[in-house]
Structure 1
Amino acid sequence: MTALNRSTRRRLQQLRQLPSVWEGDRRAISPRVAASIEPDANMRGECILWVDGSEAMVRAMDVVPAETGPEAIVRTLIRAMETPHASVSPGRPQKIVVCNREIQFFLRGVLQDLGITIDYVQTLPLIDEIFRGLQEIATSRQPQLPPEQAETLMEAALAIWNDAPWEALDEEKILSIELNYGDVGTLYVSILGMLGVEYGILMYRSLDSLKHFRQQVLLANDSPKRMEEAFLEQDCFFVTFDQLEDSEGFEEADEEMDGAFVEMGIRPSFGNLHPLEGLRPSLYDEEAIAVLVALTALHRFLQQHQKTLNTGEFPALSSRYRVPDSAHSKTKVSVTVATMPDLAEELFQMSTDSDFDDLYEVLQNQAPVLRDDLIPSDAFFSLGAMSWEVVEYLRLGAKHHQPAEEEFPTKADGFPVILIQTSRPKAIALIEQLQAAGGLESICFNPGKDSLADKSYDLGILKTQNGEMHLFGEFEEDDPVHIAARKKWDQRCKKTKGYCGLVIARGLKGASRGKPEFKDMMALFETRSLSPKELGLGTLEMMPQLE
């Protein structure tokens, strides 16, 4: 059994002992209840609760995965003593009561010498009441979709997912859906997902809102605060498709979602954004009907014009459909869906006229735009992930460490990294060159093309703080191994909020090639992952070398 160390025990002994009895327990909760306690805790786990029975007050509460060991209940208890919720004073109780024998015996072993009596009781009235309240709050929450439209909206979302419009349309290629239904006139649809990061449909209620958001994003210049403000100022409906982890919410999903989505590991989310209301992850009756009509018409349009849109062109197209009105079974709504090529060009010009375009023009006038003299020609490079334990070791023990600009989530199954492995002298020289350039600013994958060989590539690029671009790898666009690696890279970067790393290692030959040990890893650069659009290079054409 793990015991408290002496310093912790002395610290707790110095706390004032309160003449009170505390209740403690851990209980299984559903993802819905977990989310009502901690918005980010979307899991089927357990809630640990410590309540001061004398004051009828919650002192500490935690949501943990079900497989978490008994130590978690002690961690929450120590917080209840030293840093309790609300404006109550620190202190240790005179007595603790629990309704689980295993917890009782565990606490007796751990809390020795603290002068706390630990007793077993059959029921915990206060905790029972609190959990009943949590359950009532969770079950009384506004459902994401009205029950009358939930099934048909899920079917409409599945149809859009199967259409995969993001394979042909980027965010600037806007479609208009003229409904004139209820309070909704025309919706302006922006497609998310061409970069493989986040898939979804944004349906703006006005062109002004769409254009304003685009302008605000350009002005935000990667400022998280300004990006958040721009996000919340949108006026739109949305449906997004989030990837489910193997262990994340499948049981809950099976109760609420179409089985086809569960099999694909996808969670559709519907909601509303408005400058005065903020983000609301639900739709009310009238909104749900309007969104259903819009998605149904959009699906028909994508099916009808699929071949044209897949060419990469964005011509003027318009089609009218008669869509069933779910609120009135015998009526249909006349809906017109059209492309907006002039608006697409305007939005493109808006982005290229921004401050980013100054860099774009400078790069276009450089020869070459992309340098290939930084990485040793015989170096081994790969995309992959590194365990968070190794990341911590490298932060402390690597020859060189460039920390991230800010803390980022560590929810991914590993830290996405590019590994460059070469000989020790060349590794040292590479690290010194990056240091001389001010460090590593970002990592990007950008499309490239060799017209003579009729081949397309995914170019791996390192951008240094002095503005230079360096090629580290050329990957054939249709290589299945690279496609799978890029997919995992994008998924992990999404979970780390865009942060990734570059690892430089020695040991080019022998068994360590491609699998360096910790002692071989000489540098870790933590940086941002940029999309091709953020990089601003467009498709790079491979130029023939002159003899």
Structure 2
Amino acid sequence: MSALNRNTCRRLKKLPQIPSVWEGDRRPLLGFGEGEEDADGNSECILWVDGSEGIVRAMDVVPPEMGPEATVRTLLRSMEHPQSPARPARPAKIVVRDRELQFFLRGVLQELDITIDHVPDLPLIDELFRGFEEVAQLRQPKLPPQYADLLIAKAYDIWQDAPWDALADHQILAIELNRWDTETLYVSVMGMMGMEYGVLLYRSMDSLKRFRASVLAQESLAAMEQAFLGQDCFFITYGKADEDSEEEDEDDDDDIDLADFPVSEIMPNFGTVHPLEGMRPFLYDEEAIAVYIALESLHRFFRSSHRQLVDDTLPDITKRYRIPIPLEAGLKPTKSVKSDKSDKSETESKSTISVKITTLPELSSELLEMAELAEKDNMGDEDDFEEMPLPLHDDLVPKDAFLSLGMIPWEIIESLRSGVDFYQSRDLEASGEGLPVVLIQTTRPKAKSVIEQLKIAGGIKGIGFTPGEDPSIGERYDLGILQTENSSLYLFGEFSAEDPVHIAARKKWDQRCKKNKGYCGLIVAKGLTGASRGNPQPNDMMAVFEARSLSTKELGLGMLQLMPVFELE
């Protein structure tokens, strides 16, 4: 058992000793804290109160695995740095209801002249915890208890459906409910770029349009916050179930993709945003029913229409479903003594709801056009200061990406044609041992960003190499270049011209391209931070671009020189 050091004892003995009896105890928190852990009773509250004065001197919330030392730390703080209005002091007597704690305190505090007794009841602390429990019982739950399990299960169904793999956030669906003060919900899916996953259910089309216009305008932070709070929607978002645990470096947070985690580590969150109410992270009864019905409709829609949604253009689809209403207050069907058809139809109409779900291609095109116009406007100001665009871009491949030149056997290429998120085909005929490829492996969110940027540019036209040099140090490089269909050139790698490993890989590259009639490919893969780092497996590969192999002469860049950058002090 640890003991107080002599300096601490001398300091505490200098405090005035008052003729008071203090109560001390440590009890589980049952639903009183803000977090889910506290709600489950996985935290404990340490309380020290002055029974004579009737005031709390110190309180702490600690994990249950913390030993009795935590109780002593709170006690010492209650002596030296008590909560207002108490003053620093030493009690004449301490009473506790735990025998082990009594013996522990006697050993630790034996030099402080404090009597430590055991009592069966602590009236003041008992009253405080009764108050805590009353507050917990009155607190609004995040989900109505009768719908909580249903909603969470349905949210996991949506997670497994992964609608963000098929729909971008501008591709909107409409769900007609005409019930619970909700006519139509306009659905926007988040997650295609792997940054944040969720489903937004807007209660009006105007709210959806206003918010997207505000985001595209790239306004100030204050204006963005106002736009966010001005939405009128329900939301379902997904996060890590253990977000309160210690994480890796904050710089790596942006690289975390929830889709890489098992479903057991995913936690759905529900809430609503309204211009007058603001944001609240819980739903009332009728809201919970409406959201459940909407999620069930989406689940059925994605399950039956997923193949039709894989194209970039949103197709025109309409589906109707009859969905059971779960335990709805006031509408739960009751058994009828009569057996005529009218009673039966009335019961059925009260226990189910007819829902219509429709894609909105015209609205989706309008929102996409808004985004494209905003992008052009934002680039326009920069273009005014540039006489000509840069011939070579270096912002495509993430700086920490793993790069390699290699070959993929044709049987794997064949399986990838239907197994990756995106495949750009040139209708190649198998020739040689396989397809020569450039591999870019990065994190899943960054891989999605690379793929999206290449798709916007029309895909890859060709892949080649051109010489480069750094005159200041006399180094020469072999620069890897991607040419897109819109004639943009992207630097994907800088390889030392004297590296024997690269020289051998480049020689094999040229030979394989020649055997494949001048064709090659680019593979974009995830898994940079996982076990497959440097050796991605087929299930890590997210996109394949078949392209022409371009010679240095076809690229027409000549010798590129690294230009020095000077910093102004």
What is the TM-score normalised by the length of structure 2? 0.58
Q: Percent identity?
A: 45
Residue 66 in structure 1 maps to residue 64 in structure 2: yes
Q: Secondary structure at the match of 1:191?
A: strand
- Which 10-residue stretch deviates more, 327-336 or 296-305? 327-336
CA distance in 2, matches of 1:314, 1:273: 27
| Count of paired positions | 402
Q: Is the 8 A contact 2:32 2:38 kept in 1?
A: no
Residue 447 in structure 1 maps to residue 423 in structure 2: no
Residue 370 in structure 1 maps to residue 369 in structure 2: no
What letter is aligned with 1:95?
Answer: K
Say if 1:199 and 1:81 are closer, same or farther in 2 by CA, change over 3 A.
Answer: farther
Choose the corresponding residue for 1:342, options 365, 369, 372. 365
Choose the corresponding residue for 2:240, options 222, 225, 243. 243
Q: Secondary structure at the match of 1:54?
A: coil
Say if 1:246 and 1:278 are closer, same or farther in 2 by CA, change over 3 A.
Answer: closer
What letter is aligned with 1:338?
Answer: T
Q: Secondary structure at the match of 1:23?
A: strand
Q: Secondary structure at the match of 2:450?
A: strand
What letter is aligned with 1:368?
Answer: L
Q: Is the 8 A contact 2:318 2:356 kept in 1?
A: no
Q: Secondary structure at the match of 1:238?
A: strand
Tell me how far 1:18 sits from its aligned partner.
3.9
Q: Secondary structure at the match of 1:447?
A: helix
**For residues 389-423 of structure 1, what are the alpha-carbon distances to aligned partners after superposition, in whole Å with 9 as ceiling and x for unaligned?**
xxxxxxxxxxxxxxxxxxxxxxxxxxxxxxxxxxx
CA distance in 2, matches of 1:542, 1:2: 73
Q: Is the 8 A contact 2:207 2:231 kept in 1?
A: yes
Tell me how far 1:345 sits from its aligned partner.
1.0
After superposition, residues 50-449 of structure 1 pair within 5 angstroms as 50-111=48-109, 113-217=111-215, 223=221, 230-245=227-242, 264-326=264-326, 327=328, 328=331, 330-331=348-349, 332-339=353-360, 340-349=363-372, 352=375, 365-370=389-394, 446-448=449-451
Say if 1:313 and 1:129 are closer, same or farther in 2 by CA, change over 3 A.
Answer: same
CA distance in 2, matches of 1:283, 1:290: 10
Tell me how far 1:184 sits from its aligned partner.
1.1
Q: Is the 8 A contact 2:180 2:287 kept in 1?
A: no
Q: Is the 8 A contact 1:319 1:338 kept in 2?
A: no
Say if 1:318 and 1:349 are closer, same or farther in 2 by CA, change over 3 A.
Answer: farther
Q: Secondary structure at the match of 2:72?
A: helix
Q: Is the 8 A contact 1:270 1:282 kept in 2?
A: yes
Tell me how far 1:307 sits from its aligned partner.
1.0
What letter is aligned with 1:80?
Answer: S
Q: Secondary structure at the match of 2:311?
A: coil
CA distance in 2, matches of 1:360, 1:282: 46
CA distance in 1, matches of 2:281, 2:186: 20
**Which structure: larger Rg?**
2
- Which 10-residue stretch deviates more, 272-281 or 147-156? 147-156
What letter is aligned with 1:342?
Answer: S
After superposition, residues 527-546 of structure 1 pair within 5 angstroms as 546=552
Q: Is the 8 A contact 1:145 1:288 kept in 2?
A: yes
Q: Is the 8 A contact 1:99 1:121 kept in 2?
A: yes
Say if 1:315 and 1:372 are closer, same or farther in 2 by CA, change over 3 A.
Answer: closer
Q: Is the 8 A contact 2:29 2:38 kept in 1?
A: no
Q: Secondary structure at the match of 1:330?
A: helix
Aligned Cα root-mean-square deviation (Å): 4.6
CA distance in 1, matches of 2:185, 2:132: 38
**For residues 339-387 of structure 1, what are the alpha-carbon distances to aligned partners after superposition, in whole Å with 9 as ceiling and x for unaligned?**
331343145247626758867999994343217999899999xxxxxxx
CA distance in 2, matches of 1:246, 1:198: 14
Say if 1:79 and 1:199 are closer, same or farther in 2 by CA, change over 3 A.
Answer: farther
Q: Is the 8 A contact 1:320 1:336 kept in 2?
A: yes
CA distance in 2, matches of 1:87, 1:267: 42
**For residues 37-66 of structure 1, what are the alpha-carbon distances to aligned partners after superposition, in whole Å with 9 as ceiling and x for unaligned?**
x68856612222222212322232222221
Q: Secondary structure at the match of 2:348?
A: coil
Unaligned runs of 5+ in 2: 246-260, 332-346, 405-444, 464-489, 496-521, 534-544, 554-569
CA distance in 2, matches of 1:210, 1:34: 35
CA distance in 2, matches of 1:147, 1:116: 48
Say if 1:379 and 1:234 are closer, same or farther in 2 by CA, change over 3 A.
Answer: closer
Query: Equivalent residue for 2:21?
Result: 21
Q: Is the 8 A contact 1:104 1:119 kept in 2?
A: yes
Q: Secondary structure at the match of 2:293?
A: helix
**For residues 299-346 of structure 1, what are the alpha-carbon distances to aligned partners after superposition, in whole Å with 9 as ceiling and x for unaligned?**
222223211222343344443434344544512334233233134314
CA distance in 2, matches of 1:372, 1:270: 36
What letter is aligned with 2:291?
Answer: V
**For residues 77-133 of structure 1, what are the alpha-carbon distances to aligned partners after superposition, in whole Å with 9 as ceiling and x for unaligned?**
233334444544444433322222332333334445444333322222222232233
After superposition, residues 428-507 of structure 1 pair within 5 angstroms as 446-448=449-451, 451=460, 477-478=524-525, 482=529
CA distance in 1, matches of 2:462, 2:529: 20
Say if 1:297 and 1:127 are closer, same or farther in 2 by CA, change over 3 A.
Answer: same
Tell me how far 1:234 sits from its aligned partner.
3.0
Q: Is the 8 A contact 1:315 1:341 kept in 2?
A: no
Say if 1:86 and 1:371 are closer, same or farther in 2 by CA, change over 3 A.
Answer: same
CA distance in 1, matches of 2:45, 2:61: 4
What is the TM-score normalised by the length of structure 1? 0.60
What letter is aligned with 1:101?
Answer: R
Unaligned runs of 5+ in 1: 249-260, 381-442, 455-468, 487-538
